[in-house]
Chain A
Amino acid sequence: MDNQMNTSENLYGVGALFKDPNKIVKVVEKLVELGYKHWDVHSSYPLHGIPKRMRLKWSPLGYVALILGLTGTLTGLFLTWWTMSVDYPLTIGGKPWFSFPAFVPVLFELTVLLASVGTAIVMLFIIFKFPNNQHPLHDTEYINKVSVDHFGVFIEAKDELFELEKVKSLFNDFGADEIIEIAYDRNEVTFKPKVFDVKFISFLVVIAIITSSVAYLFNNKILYLPPFDFMLKQFRLGPQESSTFFADGFGMRKPPAGTVARNQEFYPFKNKPDEAGMKLVNPLLATQENLELGRNKFNTFCSPCHGWRGEGDSRLNGQFPNPPSLHSEKVRNWTDGRIYHVIMEGQNVMPSYASQLTEKERWAVILYIRSLQRALNAKQEDIQ
C-alpha cells in the first residue's frame, strides 16, 4: 500500500489542443489507421461526422428506449387492467370493466415517461458512469481550454501502442497548438467503495431522520391543525353537544312518541319468560352449518362465563360471579324459547345479549347448547 502511495503520480495520457476543427478530422483518421484504442476527441459541442470517423459503434440508446417504452406500456396495461377489472371492479357508464380505449392515454403517458426518464438514466449513470468528478481530466488546462474554444485529442497511457515521444511527435506533425501531459494522483482517484464512509452513512441517517419526522408530523400533527381539520370540525352538532337553539339547551332531541327506528327488533315477550318459552320455536335445523355458527358465537360471547362446555366454569377468575351450569335438570327441561328469552333479557347478573347476537345467531347458539347438553348426558342410544 505504501509503495503505491509513493509512486502516486502516474501519467494518465497526452492531449493535443487544436484551434481549427478541420485538423481534428485528419488526426482522427490517422489514429484510427494506426489502431489506437484508448483515445478520445474533446470538444465543447458535438462535431459533425467525428463519431463516424472515430469508428464508434452505433449508439444502443434507441434499443434501450424501445425496451423501456414497451415496459412502460405493459406496466400501464397491467396497472389499468388489474386495478379496474380485478382488484376493485367498478362499472362506469355501463362500460366493460376492461375498457381498453379509455386506458390508452394512461398507457401512452407511461410509455413516454418510462422511455425518456429511463433512457436518460441509462445513458448518464450506466453508459457514462456519471457522476464522475474525479476523472483525471477535470481541472486541467486541457479541459479548460476545450470548454472554451479549443478542440482536443487525447491518447491514454494505458493504450498498448502508447509511447510518449511517438505520440507527441505525431501531434506535432499535425500542427497541434499545444501538447499537454496529464498525470493523475492515485490517492485522489481511489475506487474504494464509499458506501461505508462515515460521512455517507451520517448523510443517510440525517435524511432518514428528516423524512420520518416530517412524515410523522404531517400525518399525526399537521393534518389535525386548522385549516387541515375542517373535515373533522363541521357546522353540525355531535352527540351529547349542547345547543342554544332549543329551550332545554340539549343538542340531541328525543324522537316523537311512537317512533320506531329502522331495523329495530320488536320483542313481544318482554318480562314474560313463560309465555316466551311456550310460544317461541327454534326455526333452525341442527345442520352442521348452524352448529358451527352456534359454536363460534357461543365461544365468543357465552364461554367466558359459562365455560367452554357450559359447565359454569368461568374464565374470569372470580371477577364476575360464576353462573350455574347449563347442564342442570332445569335448563335441560327448558324449551328453546325459554333459553331464547334469557339471551334476550338476561337473568340475575347476566345482562341481555340481544345486541351482540342476531336472531339467527341466538337460535344457533341454542342449538349448540342443546348439543352440549346431549354430549354431557349421553343416553345409551347415542353411543350407537
Chain B
Amino acid sequence: MSSNIDYSIEPEVVEGQPKLNQINEAIAKPLETRPSWKYLVALGISSTMLLIGAVCLGFSFYYGIGLWGNNQPVGWAIPIVNFVFWVGIGHAGTLISAILFLFRQRWRTGISRFAEAMTIFAVITAGLFPLIHTGRPWLAGYLFPLPNQHRLWVNFTSPLIWDVFAVSTYLTVSFVFWYIGLIPDLAMLRDRTKSKIKKTIYSIFSLGWRHSNRHWHHYEMIYLILAGFATPLVLSVHTIVSFDFAVSILPGWHTTIFPPYFVAGAVFSGFAMVQNVLIVVRKIFNLEHIITLDTLEKMNKVMLATGMMVGYAYGMEFFIAWYSGNPLESFVFLNRAFGNYAWAYWIMVSCNVIFTQLFWFKKIRRNIVAMFIIGVLVNVGMWFERFVIVVTTLSRDFLPSSWDYYKPTLVDIGILLGSFGLFFTLVILFIRSLPVVSISEVKAVVKGSQPVHH
C-alpha cells in the first residue's frame, strides 16, 4: 500500500524514538518558558547591531546617500553586494523546504521550518537594499506597474523590473508556504495553552484548524503544489538577480554562466548560514535529538558539492576569458586576480573553494566547532564573491581616466552590520514566538507513528 518504497535503509530522522507528546513538549518549550540570560544577551547584541544600522540609515536618509562610498564609476557598490548576498542566503530555505521535499528527503523535516523562516527574513533584509540604493525609498511605489498621474509604466524589458517581480513573488510565496506549514502547529499550540491571550492569538492564526483528515488530504496536496511551484521559483529568483549583471554588456558581467553559478552560490551560502544558526539553536534549546548531527553532516555535504560548483565557475570564467579571445574579458579577469582588488579575490577563493575541501573528511563534517568555523568562512567568502563581481568590474570600466578605487565608508559598514542585526533579531524573535521545528512533520516521521497497512 505504502507508495514510497525505501530502496535503501535510511537512518531514523529523529533520534531516540521520542513519544509523540514529548515532541510537542520539546518544541513548545522555548515558547512557554522564560528566556535564559543567553537568549537575552543574543537579542541584545543583535538588536544593538540593528540599531547601529538604523542610525546609519537615518543619516543616509537625512543627509543623502553621499554618505556612502558609491561614486563614479562604482555606482553599484555595497548596497547591491548586500542585496545579492541576502537573497542568496534565502535560497537555502526554499531548497530545503521545497526541493528536498520533492526528492522525499526526510531528514529535512527537522530543519525545514527554520530554513523557511530564514528565507523570509533574508529576503526582507535583501529587499531593503535596492530600496535604499535608490536614495528615495519613499517613492518605491513606482517600481510596480500601478496606474499613476504621469501615465507611465515600468519598463518590462529591464532586468531590474524582473527583479522587483522575482523578489516580491519569492517573498510572498515563501511566506504562504511557511504559513501553510505553520497552521497545524499553531492549532496544536492553541490546544495546549492555558493563557487566554495566547489562546486568542493562536486561534486567530490557526484559523480554526481541527486536525481533520479530510483537511489533511487537501493539505498534503497543496504542500506538494507549493513545493512544485517554489522549486522553479527559487531557481528563477537568483537567475534573475544574475540577469541584472549578465544582461548588461560589461566585461566580467556579460557571461552566460552567471545564472547557474549564482544559484549554486546562493545555495552554498544559504546552507552555511542555516547550518551556523541551527548549531546555536539546537544547543540553546536542547533540540539535539531533532536537529541531529546527521542532518548537519548532510548539510555539510551539500556545501561541499555547491562549493565545488562555485569553484568550477571561477575556473570556467577564466577559461572563457582566455578562450573567447576578447581582450577586455581577459583584462577584467586578470585584474580580478592580480589587480588592486586581488585581496578580495583571494579571500573569496580561499574561503569558498579551499577551506570547504576539508569537508571531505568525515571527522570534520561531524565536528561541530570545525563545521561552524567553515560555515562562517563560507559566508565571508560568498559576501566577497559578490563584492568582487560588482566592484572589480565597475572600478575598471572602459574609460581608464575614470578608473577609481572604491572604498566603503563607515556608514556603509554600519548598514551592513545593521542588515545582520535585522536578520538575527528576526531569527531570535522567531525562535521564541513560533515553533522552530515543524511539529506535525516531525511527528509524521517518528518511528511507529504511521499505521501499517496490510
Contacts and interface: CB of A to CB of B under 8 A. Distances in A.
Nearest to A24: B451
B240 A105 contact: yes
B219 interface: yes
Given A44-B440, A61-B218, A110-B165, A54 B207 contact: no
A11 interface: no
Contacts of A44: 20, 184, 188, 211, 439-440, 443
Interface string B177-215: 100100010011001100000000001100111111111
B361 interface: no
B407 interface: no
A123 to B, nearest CB: 5
Nearest to B442: A45
B450 A120 contact: no
Given A50-B213, A59-B221, A109 B226 contact: no
Contacts of B210: 42, 135, 137-138, 143
Interface string A80-106: 100110011010110100010011011
A62 B62 contact: no
Given A48-B451, A65-B225, A105-B243, A41 B213 contact: yes
A65 B169 CA distance: 16
Interface in A41-95: 41-51, 54, 56, 59, 61-62, 65, 79-80, 83-84, 87-88, 90, 92-93, 95
Contact of A106 (B19, B156, B216, B443): B156
Contacts of A103: 156-157
Interface in A214-238: 223, 226-228, 230-231
A223 B157 CA distance: 30
Given A25-B451, A44-B439, A226 B211 contact: no
Contact of B155 (A45, A90, A131): A90
A99 B247 CA distance: 15
Nearest to A48: B450
A276 interface: no
B438 to A, nearest CB: 9
A21 interface: yes
A120 B229 CA distance: 12
A135 B212 CA distance: 12
Interface residues of B, number: 74
Contacts of A113: 169, 172-173
A109 B451 contact: no
A134 B444 CA distance: 28
A112 B232 contact: yes
Nearest to A104: B162
Most buried by B among A54, A132, A227: A227
A172 interface: no
B213 A87 contact: no
A43 B452 contact: no
A124 interface: yes
14 contacts: A46-B217, A46-B444, A49-B451, A54-B214, A54-B217, A84-B156, A105-B162, A105-B236, A112-B236, A116-B173, A131-B208, A149-B20, A230-B64, A231-B136
Contacts of B117: none
Interface string B136-177: 101000000100000111111111011001100100110011
Interface string A16-45: 000001101100000000000000111111
Nearest to A103: B156
Given A25-B451, A138-B208, A143 B157 contact: no
A105 B165 contact: yes
Interface string B210-249: 1111111111111001100110110010001001000000
Contact of A226 (B62, B208, B220, B453): B62
Q: DSSP majority for the B interface?
A: helix
Contacts of B152: 88
* Top 4 A-B pairs, shortest CB-CB distance: A149-B20, A132-B208, A83-B153, A102-B157
A123 B222 contact: yes
Interface of A: 21-22, 24-25, 40-51, 54, 56, 59, 61-62, 65, 79-80, 83-84, 87-88, 90, 92-93, 95, 99, 102-103, 105-106, 108-110, 112-113, 115-117, 119-120, 123-124, 127-128, 130-135, 137-138, 143-144, 146-149, 152, 223, 226-228, 230-231
Interface of B: 1-2, 19-21, 24, 61-64, 136, 138, 145, 151-159, 161-162, 165-166, 169, 172-173, 176-177, 180, 184, 187-188, 191-192, 203-204, 207-222, 225-226, 229-230, 232-233, 236, 240, 243, 439-441, 443-444, 449-453
A228 B19 CA distance: 58
Contacts of A61: 218, 221-222, 225
A181 to B, nearest CB: 17
A120 B180 contact: yes
B207 A148 contact: no
A131 B165 contact: no
Contact of A46 (B62, B204, B220): B220
Nearest to B236: A108
A148 B21 contact: yes
A59 B217 contact: yes
A116 B138 contact: no
Given A47-B451, A62-B221, A132-B207, A120 B215 contact: no
A110 B136 CA distance: 26
A122 to B, nearest CB: 9
Given A54-B214, A65-B225, A105-B236, 18 more contacts: A21-B450, A24-B451, A40-B213, A41-B212, A43-B213, A44-B439, A45-B444, A46-B217, A51-B213, A88-B151, A105-B243, A109-B166, A116-B225, A131-B204, A135-B210, A138-B210, A146-B211, A227-B64
Nearest to A222: B138
Contacts of B153: 83-84, 87-88
B177 A116 contact: yes
B385 to A, nearest CB: 23
A88 B157 CA distance: 13
A45 B441 contact: yes
Contact of B216 (A25, A43, A88, A130): A43
Nearest to A122: B222
Contacts of A147: 24, 187-188, 191-192, 211
A128 B21 contact: no
B421 to A, nearest CB: 23
A231 B215 CA distance: 55
Contact of B213 (A46, A62, A99): A46
A104 to B, nearest CB: 9
Contact of A149 (B21, B157, B162, B222): B21
Contacts of B156: 79-80, 83-84, 102-103, 106
Given A45-B449, A62-B221, A130 B157 contact: no
Given A45-B440, A149-B19, A131 B213 contact: no
Contacts of B62: 226-227
B214 A56 contact: yes
> Which of B155, B177, B192 is most buried by chain A, counting CB atoms within 10 A of its CB?
B155
A112 B451 contact: no
Contacts of A231: 136
A83 B208 contact: no
Nearest to B24: A148
A123 B153 CA distance: 34
A332 B221 CA distance: 90
B184 to A, nearest CB: 7
Given A143-B211, A149-B19, A117 B217 contact: no
A159 to B, nearest CB: 14
